């Protein structure tokens, strides 16, 4: 099997586009088409269906795609292992982090990491926890930082740090005069929350359902910045990570409300594939992250 043809097929199948694959591989579109056609002819099978502008995998193509994913991942790992054996000082580290961790925790960690290992290129992607875990399972990232333990036998998981979810209101809100409230007081209260599917929202929904509390959700957003602005304008109350609102609490544009009958923990986990070759870059990052967890994260 021609490895180059396999890589071209994989990129076309993944992008569902000959044009996009050609751009990624720095090839012309006719060259990409020819490589896929040659691969199909060598096995006398059809791997891709072209329906108008759509590119779909045939059943045979789905089988080949799964093997291609494994083969190309092993190729990447072999290259990393050989680079380590040559003692190269350079490397690439691909991290998939949740929005909250990526925005409010990761910068401090990367600052220390870059000072220690200035020649390692770090590629960071952000998403919700499910997306970061999926990327790690598919070997699209070396490490994931998620807000829940996926409990997947293919993954190794290590708890990094714990944050708290707290209530925040504007200084003009009726609750602003108080230091804490009971969760039951959220009944009928206008709330602004993260989007469904996000880890903070899952945690909040679970605890409210458990206690039979039904707030009025007036807005949902994946943007914590948008949520904070809405709360500052006095529209309603939000429940957010303590780390996310620390600057607003210092500046007194938001007022913190603790819950006197619950401690809502929000944990972050470092996740990597158990079959993943741990390059020097990956091991170095894990060491720095462990140091942060042991000594404490910047406040």
- Model pLDDT for residues 168-212, shown as the tens digit of each residue: 999 999 999 998 999 999 988 899 999 887 888 889 999 999 989
Looking at the domain covering 90-161+267-295, what would its CATH class be? Answer: alpha beta
pLDDT of residue 83: 67
Q: Residue 82: is its pLDDT beyond 80?
A: no
Q: Is the pLDDT confidence value at 299 over 70? A: no
At 86, is the pLDDT very low, low, confident or very high (cuts 50, 70, 90)? low
Confidence of residue 227 (pLDDT cuts 50, 70, 90): very high
| Span 3-84 CATH architecture | Orthogonal Bundle (1.10)
> Residues 6 or more apart from 245 whose CB is under 8 A from it?
166, 168, 228, 254, 256
Partners of 167 in the β-ladder: 239, 257
pTM more than 0.75: no
Least confident residue range of 52-56, 95-99, 256-260: 52-56
* CATH fold group of domain 163-264: D-Maltodextrin-Binding Protein; domain 2 (3.40.190)
Distances (CA, A) of 142 to 90, 95, 104, 161, 264: 16, 6, 20, 19, 30
Statement: residue 102 has pLDDT above 80: yes
pLDDT of residue 113: 92
Residue 87 binned pLDDT confidence (cut-offs 50, 70, 90)? low
Q: How confident is the model at residue 79 (pLDDT cuts 50, 70, 90)?
A: confident
CA 149 to centroid of chain Cα atoms: 13
The stretch 252-258 carries a mean pLDDT of 93
pLDDT at 261 over 60: yes
Report domain extents, the chain. Answer: 3-84, 90-161+267-295, 163-264
pLDDT score at 271: 95
Give residue 229's pLDDT: 94
CA distance 89 to 280: 9
Does 295 score more than 80 pLDDT? Answer: no
pLDDT in tens, 7-35: 888 889 988 888 888 888 888 888 888 98
- Mean pLDDT check: name the lowest of 34-43, 65-74, 78-87, 118-127: 78-87
Note whether 3-84 and 90-161+267-295 share their fold.
no
What does the alpha-carbon distance between residue 207 and residue 202 come to, in Å, rounded to a whole number?
A: 9
């Amino acid at each position: 099997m021609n490895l180059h043809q396999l890589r071209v097929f994989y990129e076309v199948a993944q992008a569902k586009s000959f044009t996009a694959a050609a751009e990624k591989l720095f090839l012309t579109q006719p060259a990409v088409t020819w490589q896929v056609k040659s691969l199909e002819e060598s096995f006398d099978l059809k791997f891709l269906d072209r329906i108008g502008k759509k590119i779909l995998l045939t059943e045979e193509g789905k089988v080949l795609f799964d093997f291609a994913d494994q083969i190309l991942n092993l190729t990447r790992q072999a290259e990393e292992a050989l680079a380590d054996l040559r003692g190269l000082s350079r490397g690439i580290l691909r991290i998939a982090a949740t929005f909250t961790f990526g925005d409010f925790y990761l910068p401090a960690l990367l600052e220390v990491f870059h000072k220690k290992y200035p020649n390692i290129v770090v590629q960071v992607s952000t998403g919700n926890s499910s997306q970061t875990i999926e990327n790690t399972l598919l070997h699209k990232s070396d490490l994931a930082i998620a807000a829940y333990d996926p409990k997947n036998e293919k993954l190794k998981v290590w708890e990094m740090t714990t944050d708290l979810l707290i209530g925040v209101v504007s200084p003009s809100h009726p609750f602003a005069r108080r230091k804490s409230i009971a969760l039951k007081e959220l009944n009928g209260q206008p709330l602004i929350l993260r989007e469904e599917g996000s880890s903070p929202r899952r945690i909040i929904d679970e605890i409210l359902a458990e206690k039979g509390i039904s707030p009025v959700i007036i807005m949902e957003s994946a943007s914590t910045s948008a949520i904070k602005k809405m709360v500052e304008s006095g529209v309603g109350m939000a429940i957010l990570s303590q780390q996310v609102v620390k600057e607003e609490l210092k500046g007194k544009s938001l007022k913190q409300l603790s819950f006197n009958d619950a401690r809502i923990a929000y944990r972050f986990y470092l996740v990597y594939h158990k079959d993943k070759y741990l390059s020097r870059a990956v091991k170095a990052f894990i060491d720095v992250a462990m140091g942060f967890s042991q000594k404490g994260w910047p406040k």
